[in-house]
Amino acid sequence: MSTSDQHTRAVFDLSGPVDYKLFQLKNPDRVVLDFSRAHLAKGFQSPDGGGLLKDVRTGKHGRHGVRVVLDMKAGVRPKSFLLDPSGGNGYRLVLDMYPSSDAGRAIVRRTAPVSQRKVLVAIDPGHGGKDSGAHGPGGLEEKTVTLAIAKRLAALVDKQPGMQAILTRDDDTYIPLERRFEIARQHKADLFVSIHANSCPNHCSARGASVWVLSTHGKESEAGKWLARSENASDLVGGVSLDNRSHTLAAVLLDLSQGASMQASKQVGHDVLGALKGIIPLYKPRVQHANFVVLRSPDVPSILVETAFISNRHDERLLRSPRYRQKMARAILKGVEHYFTTTPPQGTWFAAQWAKKHGVKIASTEAASSSSGVASADSGVQDLHKVSNGETLSGIAHQYGVSMDAIKNANNMDSNMVRAGSMLAIPTG
């Protein structure tokens, strides 16, 4: 069990995949989970209450099942999803319980004030100082190229409405690898983009651009390091402090946060890769995975862009060209902007533009602090739902009590597929 300002979370450790049914009962308020073909582990003890939770009761359900009843202090809106084994953890069922007065519409209102903040893009020029990076056959240094492209990208980002850039370095300075993504975390960046130039030994003919995200091995390495270092205990991961958490719970919270960041990284990586197609041949046609240190942030989506092969004479000439550097910066910006347009963080200018485009009225923070926190159906305010990893359109429709067709019509969708991180307008009434 864990509790934050907005919700109470229960994580069930499972020995394997499981079928379950989730429903609610009123008077008193209860959330019920029925597990098929399951039993409680030896020595299981129900956790104490806390947050929205009053008590937990367990018992048999049918001949071969288990029922878990969570007695709530008030009405809640539950949301659940299953996680496959990863990072040393087995199968897990995650159950989030939001106050009924703070769920759906109200959460959007509280996190989307009238004054919309800008998304913050941390731009990292690779190498620098004593670390010159790769060298081209004509003597061009990677650290020079990455800084030039990064500065151009930062200038373009700052010119865009709703966007702001920070540079991990703006001169020929050496910065340790781990310090680079820490700079992004300290500024609470929405995205981390590391700029590099690829190199091939022995002057091979490889050329073109590629985009990389963190591999599963890199995720596990960083998670182990975080859990082993006591100075991280009071730090925030995904907005949650690991202080005073058990090792197991801290591992679950870290895994959930980094898993979501990796999913978002793949999405923005795909968008950037698509934008690069128009200016240079792609070395790899799909987003690649690697254990790069700079991509290991547990809660900031991160990509690494290899702008070209500096070891290739043709690519080196491109990288030396101010025109190509500007075209590369514009392509990266195009991909990043498309990502934020289709997957806007709540409370940002992009979220407000998305809501306007889809006819969703987002009330002010003051409106959210009203006694009920929920608008009536005839107020014209729609729900704004951010799709989580593992959610389906049918599940979202069931959660809000509307039909799948109604959601598809409200969002101009032509299929039942939903993309993790995307925003959906939920029609009311």
Owner of token pair 């098929």 = 36
Which comes out higher in pLDDT, residue 236 or 427?
427
Of the candidate ranges 37-41, 180-184, 239-243, 423-427, the one whose mean pLDDT is the lowest: 239-243
- Residues 6 or more apart whose Cβ sits within 8 Å of residue 78: 22, 24, 31, 95, 96, 97, 98
Residue scoring higher pLDDT (413 or 102): 413
CA distance 237 to 399: 28
Strands, sheet with 76-83, edge to edge from the N-terminal-most edge strand: 2-3, 8-14, 91-99, 76-83
pLDDT in tens, 43-95: 888 888 788 889 999 988 888 899 999 999 888 888 887 777 776 778 888 88
Bigger pLDDT: 409 vs 171: 171
Distance CA 203, CA 312 (A): 7
| Model pLDDT, residue 193 | 97
Q: How large is the C-alpha radius of gyration of the chain?
A: 24
pLDDT band at 110 (very low <50, low <70, confident <90, very high): very low
pLDDT in the model for residue 228: 43
Task: Tell which residue, 109, 104, 48, 116, has the closest CA to residue 75.
Answer: 104
Please tell me the least confidently modeled range out of 15-19, 91-95, 357-361, 424-428. 357-361
Q: What sign has the CA pseudo-torsion 145, 148, 151, 153?
A: negative
The pTM of this model reads 0.59
pLDDT digits (tens, 9 = 90+) for 157-214: 999 999 999 999 999 999 988 889 889 988 889 999 999 999 987 767 889 999 999 8
Establish how many alpha carbons lie within 13 A of residue 84's alpha carbon, considering only the half-sphere containing its beta carbon.
2
Burial of residue 56 (number of CB atoms within 10 Å: 0-12, 13-18, 19+): middle
Cα torsion angle, 267, 273, 277, 278, sign: positive
